[in-house]
Structure 1
Amino acid sequence: MNQLITIKTSKFDVSKEDENPNNQIYGQSLLVWLRESLKEKFEFSEVDSEDWGWYCFVSFYGRKYMLGATAFFEDGEDPKQDIEWAFQVDKERTWKEILLLQEKMTASDQCFQFFKEFFRGQHEMKVLSTAENA
């Protein structure tokens, strides 16, 4: 299970994102911005596309997490207006951890808590909700 943070912001112009070759879904700019903003603190992979949006990996204090982003924006809408975003955090686990039901991703996970507080600290972003996503 991953943890989901829903935010609203006009910080990013999704019309300037690369085209997602899998599906016409936006979300790249949030992850590119995070990668640039936090590059001194964490190691990030390149941002890539998936049929549900965009993702990258982050090494967070010795653990690997997948970060995903999707912008709820459709062509024709004004990209300078507030856009709602879904940001997900999913912890990679070893097969042993999965089989023994260890190190599950929860709302109290340090990586999830870090990004939730990071977004809350951005004056141009509003955290709308957090939730567990199956």
Structure 2
Amino acid sequence: MNQAIHFKTSMFDVSKEKENPINPIYGLSLLEWLRKKLEGKIEITEPEAEDWGWCSELEYEGGNYLIGACAFYEKGDNPTSEIEWVFQVHKYRSLKEKLLGQNKMTTSDNCFQFFKGLLDQEPGIKEVEVA
């Protein structure tokens, strides 16, 4: 199960993002910002387009995760205004873990808490909520 964090920010100009070739959904700029901010600490893969937004993969404390981002923005909206975002964290589990109900993704997961803390601490990011 994915866990999601909702927030608002005007830190990213999504109108300058490269186009998502699958679906016109924005979110690339958040993942690029995270890659740059965490460079040398956590290796995050190059963001890839998805039909629901953008995603990257990473390893955190021995676990493998997919992180995803999408922004509620449509062409014609003001790209410098505060935009609502969804950031999600998904933990990869083995088939055995899934069958036995082990190692489930929760909001108390260390990787999830790491990213929530990062977003909470950023002055330009507001109304951080777990949903």
2:21 alignment partner AA: P
Runs of 5+ unmatched residues, structure 1:
none
Counterpart CA distance in 1 for 2:66 and 2:96 is 19
Aligned to 1:16: 16
Per the TM alignment, residue 129 of structure 1 is displaced from its structure 2 partner at its CA by 1.5
Structure 1 vs Structure 2: percent identity of aligned residues?
Answer: 53
CA shift digits 1:44-69 (9 cap, x unpaired)? 11100001000000111111110000
Q: 4+ residue stretches of structure 1 with deviation over 6 A?
A: none
Count matched residues: 131
Counterpart CA distance in 2 for 1:128 and 1:32 is 19
Aligned to 1:37: 37
Aligned to 1:122: 122
Are 1:100 and 2:100 matched, yes or no? yes
SS of the residue aligned with 1:111? helix
Equivalence map 1:57-96=2 (5 Å): 57-96=57-96
CA shift digits 1:2-47 (9 cap, x unpaired)? 1100010000000110100000100000001001100211111110
2:43 alignment partner AA: E
Runs of 5+ unmatched residues, structure 2:
none
1:66 alignment partner AA: L
Counterpart CA distance in 1 for 2:28 and 2:88 is 13
Counterpart CA distance in 1 for 2:102 and 2:73 is 37
- Equivalent pair of 1:48/1:54 in contact (CA under 8 Å): yes
**TM-score, normalised with respect to structure 1:** 0.95
Deviates more, 1:39-48 or 1:18-27: 39-48
**TM-score, normalised with respect to structure 2:** 0.97
